[in-house]
């Protein structure tokens, strides 16, 4: 958005808010004091408002660039899968054009619609990042929301980096304050939808340059749009999951920011007072977690980038198999059995599922045959009926473990490959590759991105996009990315 456009928008906001300000002044002082923001809300909204101009530590900038690249790669590869194809068809059906890019297409859309479609692309499968502490997948909603807003407002790469980092800081802290794992297991609500929504809204508000008062209203409208229940686990096509985890939170987060930017006002503290958000969602929540270690503990650093394009519970078993292969030559024809031990919580998600990338037994069989898992292999549904794969799959046993369940949310796995001669090859993975305890380096993140992007956008666009994203702090206008992200 040009400077004149921003000035005009700001002037209209001032004119629209003048009567509201006069009305507020007429409210008795005692009534205003009773509704004053809490200390937590004041600290939180100030942090939100200051983020656009606050420099980040170098190591946080590097992590942010890696997560942004990883999420764009998920968007691009997601265009090939059913949820992504459905989202692109939706974009075509509603028609229209706008200031924001629809990835892997020739379409443009409004910020709200582009954020929705691109987020659906990013969560079309199990490629995107995850934050175990909050039980969320932050990137798939936060990055598309921030990117759509960045194009709309014409901001630079530094603003995008700060906005995305802020989104990761705020969204996960909401469900952390709920007691994420227990809340997820007992409330029937979706921690993923909630964390991603507040993250997308915070990032969008940062791009729009909202002040502290406006950020309080942004949180108000975000809370009113909070939704998502655990029924997504019954979706066998990943379509509803992509909507709950990403499309809906990204769309609603952008909407919150645009409403407030256009002049909407609201409650000064939706987190306290009568009928507040926490009373409605998590009465036992610890609200101090919302601001705990803000500015020192960056959630983007604690968020996992998946090495393998498969469901999170399958990451550790594949790591364990790779570790075994590095030490031993394993002939698939000489394998008698493969036993995989996982926590109960993880095992039930990936036990003999109908989709290849979240079926542990299938992925273990493919890993044994290929000695690696590419994006293409993880999404080759036809191979699930391949006789060679089925023969190996019959040897794979998944054992839910009480011992590993006690270690949740850390995702441990124990894999034991027994050969025909009785030799047992075992590996126990305590820190999955890509987690904060065992992070991937830049080269690994880039290699994963190439595997996901190049087949869709081509070698030249892939190389150009990676170069731009890994040098975001030098990018003056995010709209420069469009030619690299679209295809005929």
Number of domains in the chain: 2
Residue 12 has pLDDT above 60, yes or no: no
Residue 401 included in any domain: yes
Are both 100 and 169 inside the same structural domain? yes
Report phi then psi at 476, rounded to 5. Answer: -85, -25
CB 105 within 8 A of CB 91: yes
Give the model confidence (pLDDT) of 64-101 as tens digits. 999 999 999 999 999 999 999 999 999 999 987 899 99
- Per cent of the chain over pLDDT 70 is 93
DSSP annotation string for 23-47 = HHHTS-HHHHHHTPPPHHHHHHHHH
Residue 29 included in any domain: no
Are both 98 and 228 inside the same structural domain? yes
CB 191 within 8 A of CB 134: yes
Residue 149 included in any domain: yes
Q: Quick check: helix, strand or coil at residue 339?
A: strand
Q: Quick one: pLDDT at residue 30? A: 47
Residue 147 included in any domain: yes
Give the model confidence (pLDDT) of 398-456 as tens digits. 999 999 999 987 889 999 999 999 999 999 999 999 998 999 999 999 999 999 999 99
Are both 190 and 104 inside the same structural domain? yes
Give the model confidence (pLDDT) of 256-281 as tens digits. 999 999 999 999 999 999 999 999 99
Residue 251 included in any domain: yes
Are both 274 and 378 inside the same structural domain? no
Q: Quick check: helix, strand or coil at residue 401?
A: strand
CATH of the domain at 399: 3.30.1330.120
Cis peptide before 409 (omega within 30 of 0): yes
Residue 283 included in any domain: yes
Mean pLDDT of all residues belonging to the chain = 92
Q: What pTM was computed for the model? A: 0.88
Are both 211 and 274 inside the same structural domain? yes
How do 424-429 and 335-343 pair as beta strands? Answer: unpaired
- Name the domain boundary from 395, 429, 463: 429
Q: Position of tokens 């200390």?
A: 39
Report phi then psi at 275, rounded to 5. Answer: 55, 40
Give the residue among 294, 258, 55 at the shortest CA–CA distance from 169: 294
Are both 279 and 323 inside the same structural domain? no
405: which residues sit within 8 A by CB, 6+ positions away?
343, 344, 345
**For residue 223, what are the domain limits?**
35-290
Are both 172 and 91 inside the same structural domain? yes
Q: Quick check: helix, strand or coil at residue 152?
A: helix
Cα gap 1→4, rounded to integer Å? 8
Are both 243 and 329 inside the same structural domain? no
Report phi then psi at 279, rounded to 5. Answer: -60, -35
CB 123 within 8 A of CB 140: yes
CATH of the domain at 86: 1.10.4100.10
Cα gap 346→409, rounded to integer Å? 9
Q: How many helices (H) and strands (E) does the chain have?
A: 23, 6
Residue 293 has pLDDT above 60, yes or no: yes
Residue 474 included in any domain: no
Are both 277 and 365 inside the same structural domain? no
Residue 16 included in any domain: no
Are both 212 and 94 inside the same structural domain? yes
Residue 7 has pLDDT above 90, yes or no: no
Residue 372 has pLDDT above 50, yes or no: yes
Q: Which residues pair with 108 in a beta bridge?
A: 101
CB 273 within 8 A of CB 35: yes
∠ CA(160), CA(248), CA(113), 5° rounding? 65
Q: Quick check: helix, strand or coil at residue 424?
A: strand
- Name the domain boundary from 429, 447, 478: 429
Are both 185 and 110 inside the same structural domain? yes
Cα gap 421→428, rounded to integer Å? 22
Q: Quick one: pLDDT at residue 434? A: 95
Are both 284 and 332 inside the same structural domain? no
Give the model confidence (pLDDT) of 214-248 as tens digits. 999 999 999 999 999 999 988 888 899 999 999 99
């Amino acid at each position: 958005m040009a400077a004149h456009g921003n000035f005009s928008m700001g002037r209209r906001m001032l004119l629209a808010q003048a009567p509201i300000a006069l009305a507020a002044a007429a409210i008795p002082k005692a009534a205003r004091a009773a509704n004053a923001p809490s200390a937590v809300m004041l600290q939180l909204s100030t942090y939100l408002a200051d983020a656009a101009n606050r420099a980040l530590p170098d190591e946080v900038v590097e992590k942010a660039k890696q997560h942004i690249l990883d999420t764009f790669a998920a968007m691009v590869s997601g265009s090939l899968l059913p949820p992504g194809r459905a989202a692109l068809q939706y974009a075509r059906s509603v028609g229209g054009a706008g200031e924001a890019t629809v990835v892997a297409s020739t379409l443009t859309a409004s910020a709200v619609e582009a954020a929705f479609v691109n987020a659906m692309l990013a969560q079309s499968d199990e490629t995107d990042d995850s934050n175990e502490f909050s039980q969320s997948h932050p990137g798939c909603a936060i990055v598309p929301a921030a990117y759509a807003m960045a194009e709309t407002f014409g901001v630079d790469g530094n603003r995008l980096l700060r906005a995305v980092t802020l989104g990761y800081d705020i969204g996960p802290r909401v469900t952390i304050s709920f007691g994420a794992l227990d809340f997820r297991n007992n409330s029937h609500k979706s921690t993923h939808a909630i964390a991603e929504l507040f993250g997308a809204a915070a990032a969008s508000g940062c791009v729009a340059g909202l002040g502290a008062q406006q950020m309080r209203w942004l949180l108000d409208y975000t809370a009113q749009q909070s939704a998502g229940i655990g029924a997504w686990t019954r979706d066998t096509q990943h379509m509803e999951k992509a909507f709950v985890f990403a499309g809906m939170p990204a769309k609603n987060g952008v909407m919150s920011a645009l409403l407030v930017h256009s002049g909407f006002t609201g409650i000064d503290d939706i987190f306290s007072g009568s009928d507040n958000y926490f009373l409605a969602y998590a009465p036992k929540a610890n609200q101090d977690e919302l601001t705990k270690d803000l500015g020192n503990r960056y959630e983007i650093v604690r968020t996992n980038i998946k090495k393998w394009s498969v469901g999170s519970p399958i990451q550790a078993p594949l790591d364990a198999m790779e570790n075994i292969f590095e030490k031993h030559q394993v002939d698939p024809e000489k394998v008698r059995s493969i036993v995989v031990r996982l926590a109960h919580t993880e095992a039930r998600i990936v036990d003999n599922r109908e989709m290849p990338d979240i079926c542990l037994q299938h992925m273990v069989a493919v890993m044994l045959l290929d000695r690696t898992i590419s994006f293409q292999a993880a999404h080759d549904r036809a191979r699930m009926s391949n006789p060679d794969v089925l023969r190996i799959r019959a040897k794979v046993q998944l054992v839910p473990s009480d011992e590993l369940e006690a270690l949740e949310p850390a995702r441990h796995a124990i894999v034991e490959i027994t050969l025909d001669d009785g030799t047992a090859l075992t590996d126990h993975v305590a820190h999955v590759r890509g987690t904060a305890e065992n992070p991937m380096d830049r080269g690994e993140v880039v290699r994963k991105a190439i595997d996901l992007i190049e087949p869709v956008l081509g070698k030249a666009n892939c190389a150009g996009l990676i170069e731009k994203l890994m040098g975001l702090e030098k990018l003056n206008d995010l709209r420069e990315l469009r030619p690299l992200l679209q295809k005929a």
